Structure 1
Amino acid sequence: MPPPVSPSGVMDRPDGYGVVSRSLHWLMAALLAWQFTSAAVRQLLPETPIEAFFWSTHTSLGFLLLILVLLRGVWALVNLGRRPDSGLLAGLGHLVLYLLMIAIPTLGILRAYARGRGYSPFGIPVFSPRDQEIEPLVEVANAWHGLLGWTLLALIVGHVGMAFLHRRADGRRVLTHMTKGS
């Protein structure tokens, strides 16, 4: 039986992220990988069983990601004074990642609303179908959802690259903040 997590292991610390931050980070990383796979498969293999398999989860997982990023943002604010110092540029990069992770699913939900189709991620009704489409909102959401999504992917690739390359002044890899917590 694993030892119980101490309160200090739950909260973030200057030398690493706590179990909640790390769990949210890696869960979201896995869900984002699935989302990008579903979007790529939709582009590369349209109207195939593979596309149907991946794409059938896209809107529900997008909604889940929106909830998780909001929870993660609240958790980050709770831990603001305890978190590892990432520096100004990395901090701005993280802020952009958070903003995109909020904007992209919000645009997806806006598009569903504007199309009048209704929206029920995981079978939970968020809003009902309507008779009328709101074409200007559909156009805005169509123009930005995918573009920002692929921009997010590019920034995530940069984020991962920097996590592997960056080292602290003591020579320790910054990646250990999110893998080991210290």
Structure 2
Amino acid sequence: MFTAAPMRDDREGYGLVTRTLHWGMAALFAWQFTTGIVRVVAEDSPVDAFFWSTHYSVGFTLFCLVVLRGLWGLANLHRRPPHAGPSQERLAASLGQLLLYGLMIVIPPLMIVRAIGLGRGFTVYGVQLVAPGEPWADRATFAPLADAHVILAWTLLACIVLHAAIALYHGFVRRDATLDRMVKGSSALPLNPGPDRP
């Protein structure tokens, strides 16, 4: 008999809203980092022009989604499934999630403030959210924001790659419920397999 997936998280797994936000944002981050990598290896090419034209809009979308996801996570905080492993691993997982959220929250506003501060305004998907105006200061003043944006963005990419590697480790080496819960919503696998588990 078909059972609809729960919308909210519970102690056994992640609900449909959390999983949709997670995988939707993963796809957008893959696109966003592609725009950055193309910018580095093929700047001013037609391919770069195509990808880079989406960078600000997708970045703003991700910023909105991470705020939404954070609020949803707080609303489900006491319902969410526990992390696997001993206490040190659970602490590391929690700190890793806080680091990811922190980077995702901080990175987009750096360039939004820079664009507005330089008088360029801010446009998302062709909709002008902030009109161009008088610059607040010169480019040199806002250079640290651009530098921080780039450094933190590559740091975020490294954290995402590590996050994915750890998830795959849980799914295919440790073979616990961690990956299943984010893919399927729940899992028949144990949260903490014993040492004799194949």
TM-score normalised per structure 2: 0.84
Q: 1:49 aligned to 2:32?
A: no
Pairing 1:180–2:180 present: no
Partner residue in 2 for 1:143: 147
Correspondence 1:5 to 2:4:
yes
Instruction: Decide which of 24, 27, 42 is 1:27's aligned counterpart.
Output: 24
Query: Does the aligned pair in 2 maintain the 1:45–1:51 contact within 8 Å?
Result: yes
Partner of 2:194: none
- Structure 1 window deviating more from structure 2 (117-126 vs 96-105): it is 117-126
> Which one of 156, 162, 170 corresponds to residue 152 of structure 1?
156
1:106-149 per-residue CA deviation (whole Å, 9 max, x = no partner) reads: 11211111211010111232211112242365222112001000
What displacement does 1:158 show?
Answer: 0.4
Query: 122, 125, 128: which is aligned to 1:125?
Result: 128
**Matches of 2:26 and 2:66 in 1, distance apart?**
11
| 8 Å CA contact 2:118, 2:134 repeated in 1 | no
- Shift in Å, 1:60: 0.4
> Residues of 1 paired with 2:167 and 2:141: CA distance?
37
Tell me which residue corresponds to 2:33.
Answer: 36
Matched residue, 2:92 = 89
| Aligned-residue offset at 1:89 | 1.1
Residue ranges of structure 2 left out of the alignment (5+ in a row): 84-89, 187-198
Identity, in percent, stands at 47
Give a deviation string over 1:71-113, Cα, whole Å, max 9, x none.
0000000000011112221011011101101111111211111
Alignment length (residue pairs): 176
Q: Secondary structure at the match of 1:125?
A: strand
Give ranges in structure 1 of 5+ residues lacking alignment.
none
The answer (yes or no) to whether the contact 1:164–1:174 under 8 Å persists in 2 is: no
Let me know the Cα RMSD of the aligned residues.
1.7
